Amino acid sequence: MRDKEKLLDYRFMPEPNLPPLHVYSSGNVPPGTGAGSNVVLETVQRRLPDLPGTIRDKLQHKYDVPLLSATLLVTEEGLLDIFESLMADGSRDLKTLLNVLLNDYIGVLHEHDCTAAECPIRVQSLGEVCDLLASRDISQSTLQKLLPLLFEHPEVGAVEMVDRENWRQIRDRELIEKVINEVLSNPKVVSYLG
């Protein structure tokens, strides 16, 4: 039986079609060497995009995003860019934004079998949706109706759509009490058991 480790074979012969490759760090490139076969590690590292793990760590430290949410933002195509543009001003509620993007918006994307880049809903409209939800101008059930409408009519903003459909929640305590008193003052409605 042949001992492969001790015999010189084709694995150790130079490949004539591949030029020699010299790897250096930026500080120790010898002068006078040709640039064609030199590779400087720092140059290669600068050209590499951020890896998903690095992006997840950045999201966790910069925005305090939970690991699972950070993973979803990184893996779903185009979602990270939307998240970062919506968080750019720093005034949006993180929890509301993550819930809208990772639950409702992704649901609309999957329902229409498209990516975030192909989705006609404008980023500005998504920001308005988050603001309306955070300020409790709309409810979660209204959000379920709003996003599909924004998908069908991307030229209309979220605030305009909510006003057009009269979906704003009534938050005026006096108005609510007035309506309750009107209902209670009608004995026929109060006695109705359904």
Report yes or no: 58 and 84 within 8 Å, Cβ to Cβ: no
Average pLDDT over residues 73-87: 95
Report yes or no: 87 and 63 within 8 Å, Cβ to Cβ: yes
Written as six digits, the tokens of 59 are: 């999201």
In a domain, 89, yes or no: yes
Q: How many CA atoms lie within 13 A of 100 on its CB side?
A: 29
**Neighbouring-strand partners of residue 23:** 39
Domain containing 87: what range?
52-170
In a domain, 94, yes or no: yes
- What does pTM read for this prediction? 0.72
Average pLDDT over residues 76-104: 94
In a domain, 106, yes or no: yes
In a domain, 157, yes or no: yes
Can you tell me the distance from the alpha carbon of 193 to that of 26, in angstroms, rounded to the nearest whole number? 83
Can you tell me the distance from the alpha carbon of 95 to that of 89, in angstroms, rounded to the nearest whole number? 15
Looking at residue 16, its pLDDT comes to 78
In a domain, 64, yes or no: yes
The number of distinct structural domains making up the chain is: 1
In a domain, 147, yes or no: yes
Looking at residue 21, its pLDDT comes to 77
